[in-house]
Amino acid sequence: MAAQAAGATVTAPGAPAAATELQPVKTSDRVAPAPGEGVPVPTPPPVGGREPPNLPPLEGRTSETSLPRDSATAGPPVSYTDPADDAYGLAGHSALSQPAFDILLVRWAPASEVDQQLRGYSSSITVAGAARNDGAYVTYGDFPSDVPGERCQLYNILTPGSTAFANAFCGTIDEGTRRFIGSVQGGQVTSTRTAGGGTQLIATFDDSALPRLLEAGGRMLFRLSAFTCVADLNGPAAGLRCGFGDVLDEANTFNSYRL
């Protein structure tokens, strides 16, 4: 369930606070709703936002002057694995084992690895079975907020047969500070079956208009993680991908990556 990094198991404090965070955001929606507005979804345990005391600080609190402006290309590839056979369905799902959502490998790399003509970054998830288009396959990382002690997350949404996108949020629902701060346009999600019967999902993302706070943080993401989930078709978030309570597998690390 949790990937190993530097000998430590990492928890997932940055999973989405609500199902709507995994939905495309229209231009007219780019002003975050007031606390309490929006789709009614179950309130998860506090995630994202202010850092619990047992977590290390975001590495170095990278400032906007940490990297030269001409070093805008994505960093060298970073990948991490997750144990097989550790994705399990929630109550109400017919199958206990869920290979379609069982994360095996997560990778971040320059978009030029996919297409030499592209700038930006790519992100991929490899799962043990045939990926399903009714679920969400998400890679994400943390980055510093402009509010002391607060954290932000960038979620890359990789769904088979769709155009990828990424949403960025800061704060927490619990404190009434959860807010949308920007999005990143992605390309078509490519789905490739592996020799072992699994699926690799990969997409590229345009880095020409990253959210302001992410740029100010030197384009760095910390605590790289991933999760898979499927919506509860009978739940209050039906049709809205999935929320924190629907996660079937996750891979969490202390790795970092420069977009």
Q: Is residue 37 part of a domain?
A: no
Residue closest to 29 by CA, chosen among 16, 17, 20, 19: 20
Residue closest to 55 by CA, chosen among 14, 16, 106: 14
Which CA distances in Å does 5 have to 8, 106, 155, 223? 5, 13, 20, 10
Distance CA 251, CA 225 (A): 5
Element (H, E) at 214: helix 212-216
pLDDT at 73: 81
pLDDT at 63: 34
Q: Does residue 240 surpass a pLDDT of 70?
A: no
Distance CA 80, CA 85 (A): 16
Q: Is residue 254 part of a domain?
A: yes
Number of domains observed in the structure of the chain? 1
Q: Is residue 176 part of a domain?
A: yes
Instruction: Give me the mean pLDDT over the 161-172 stretch.
Output: 93
241: Cβ contacts below 8 Å, ≥ 6 apart: 19, 22, 23, 135, 136, 157, 159, 229, 231
Angle at 202 (CA atoms; ends 232, 102), nearest 5 degrees? 45
Range of the domain at 244: 4-24+47-65+72-258
Q: Is residue 36 part of a domain?
A: no
Other C-beta atoms lying within 10 Å of the C-beta of residue 208: 9
**Ramachandran angles phi, psi of 43, nearest 5°:** -80, 115
Chain center to CA of 10? 15
Could you tell me the pLDDT band of residue 4, with boundaries at 50, 70 and 90?
Answer: very low
Q: Which tops the pLDDT comparison, 66 or 136?
A: 136
Instruction: Give me the mean pLDDT over the 143-171 stretch.
Output: 93
Q: Is residue 159 part of a domain?
A: yes
Q: Is residue 85 part of a domain?
A: yes
Could you tell me the pLDDT band of residue 133, with boundaries at 50, 70 and 90?
Answer: confident
Which CA distances in Å does 157 have to 2, 23, 124, 138? 19, 8, 10, 5
Q: What is residue 191's three-state secondary structure?
A: strand
Q: Is residue 38 part of a domain?
A: no
pLDDT at 12: 45
Instruction: Annotate 128-162 with DSSP letters as a single string.
Output: SS---TTEEEEEEEEEE-SSTT-EEEEEEEE-TTS
Q: Is residue 243 part of a domain?
A: yes
